[in-house]
């Protein structure tokens, strides 16, 4: 029996398999199942004890990382009594449980792709009577970053913040690079500057644990360069844009949930 069987070796399943498989004290054996066998093989080859499989072989825990609309098919083919963790956006516990064979336990997790390098953030939720599986999910995801156990009614907003969040930061890196290029800096230098700046600012915010506003003010000399830039961000509505974007992502979760039922 495998300790963990990851179904779906795409962006998220791959990141989790690589992160968990490489972590000290992580699952001793990990199997990966994907519709495209080459994807599963590529991931397995990166793991000390990874195997690409072609069917749902016996496993202590099944980590389901397929798209929301594929979740119903995968869940219904799990063995009776299986323990499963779904990372699908939007799809509710009630739906997941109704599709799984009898005796199965299912909880939800919302990780992000930084789990690949053990710098992820994962939210977990489950029903009260699934305490043991919630605890196991917590152990697994703590191998690859920080974990928050939250109520399901907060899951869509949390998913819109930390699940999708890396993409917002990558967009900022892209935008900073493009600004540098437009203003005359070579593309590679511009990208290196943007990447290293985001890394340093993230690490500083994480290590200081203070209100980010005070870190911002420490950069912003009155009447100086940064103040000129921040005034433009505020005038163009960065906060309003961020709220609208996070709201749009959270609302999309409801559509994904409805499509998964079809
Ligand atoms: N990409 C991300 O940053 C995050 C994704 N998620 C969730 O993770 C899930 C997967 O998303 P991605 O990895 O981005 O998608 P993806 O498209 O990169 O990967 C999905 C994989 O599942 C495989 N697949 C589909 N049906 C299958 C089946 N029946 N059996 C075996 N393999 C099957 C596909 O071949 C594909 O490789 C989604 O439900 C998404 O909501 C959650 C958090 C973050
Ligand atoms: O975009 C999506 O739907 C998934 C969920 C969070 C990140 N990626």
Query: Is there a single domain that holds both residue 190 and residue 134?
Result: no
261 occurs within a structural domain? no
**In the chain, which residues have pLDDT < 70?**
none
What pLDDT is attached to residue 181?
Answer: 98
DSSP string, 73-88: HHHHTSPTT-EEEE--
What pLDDT is attached to residue 32?
Answer: 98
What pLDDT is attached to residue 190?
Answer: 98
Q: Where is the binding site, in residues?
A: 65-68
pLDDT single digits (tens) 128-176: 999 999 999 999 999 999 999 999 999 999 999 999 999 999 999 999 9
Shortest CA distance to 198 belongs to which of 170, 236, 237?
Answer: 170
Query: Is there a single domain that holds both residue 12 and residue 38?
Result: yes
Q: Where does a domain end: 107, 123, 155?
A: 155
Ligand nearest to the CA of 111: 1
Q: What is the atom index within ligand 2 of the atom nearest the CA of 112?
A: 7
Query: Is there a single domain that holds both residue 182 and residue 144?
Result: no
Tell which one of 9, 12, 74 to mutate to probe ligand 1, the residue whose CB is within 8 A of the most ligand atoms: 12
Tell which one of 8, 37, 84, 148 to mutate to probe ligand 1, the residue whose CB is within 8 A of the most ligand atoms: 8
What pLDDT is attached to residue 211?
Answer: 96
Alpha carbons 50 and 39: distance in angstroms, whole number = 13
159 lines ligand 2 (CB under 6 A): yes
What pLDDT is attached to residue 30?
Answer: 97
122 lines ligand 2 (CB under 6 A): no
What pLDDT is attached to residue 49?
Answer: 87
Ligand nearest to the CA of 109: 1
What pLDDT is attached to residue 262?
Answer: 83
What pLDDT is attached to residue 183?
Answer: 98
Number of domains in the chain: 2
Domain residues for the domain of 18 are 2-155
Shortest CA distance to 202 belongs to which of 232, 178, 173?
Answer: 173
């Amino acid at each position: 029996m495998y300790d963990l069987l990851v179904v779906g070796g795409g962006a998220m399943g791959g990141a989790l398999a690589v992160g968990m498989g490489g972590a000290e004290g992580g699952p001793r054996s990990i199997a990966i199942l994907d519709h495209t066998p080459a994807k599963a093989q590529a991931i397995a080859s990166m793991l000390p004890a990874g195997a690409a499989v072609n069917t749902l072989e016996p496993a202590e825990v099944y980590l389901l990382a397929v798209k929301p609309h594929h979740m119903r098919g995968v869940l219904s083919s799990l063995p009776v009594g299986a323990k499963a963790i779904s990372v699908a956006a939007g799809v509710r516990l009630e739906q997941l449980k109704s599709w799984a064979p009898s005796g199965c336990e299912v909880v939800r997790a919302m990780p992000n792709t930084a789990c690949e390098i053990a710098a992820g953030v994962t939210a977990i939720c489950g029903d009260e009577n699934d305490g043991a599986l919630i605890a196991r999910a917590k152990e697994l995801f703590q191998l690859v970053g920080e974990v928050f156990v939250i109520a399901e009614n907060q899951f869509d907003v949390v998913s819109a913040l930390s699940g999708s969040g890396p993409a917002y930061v990558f967009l900022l890196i892209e935008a900073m690079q493009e600004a540098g290029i437009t203003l005359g800096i070579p593309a590679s230098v511009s990208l290196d500057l943007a990447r290293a700046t985001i890394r340093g600012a993230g690490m500083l915010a994480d290590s200081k644990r203070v209100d980010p506003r005070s870190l911002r003010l420490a950069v912003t000399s009155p009447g100086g360069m940064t103040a000129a830039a921040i005034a433009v961000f505020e005038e163009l509505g960065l906060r309003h844009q961020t709220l609208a974007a996070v709201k749009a992502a959270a609302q999309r979760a409801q559509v994904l949930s409805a499509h998964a039922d079809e």
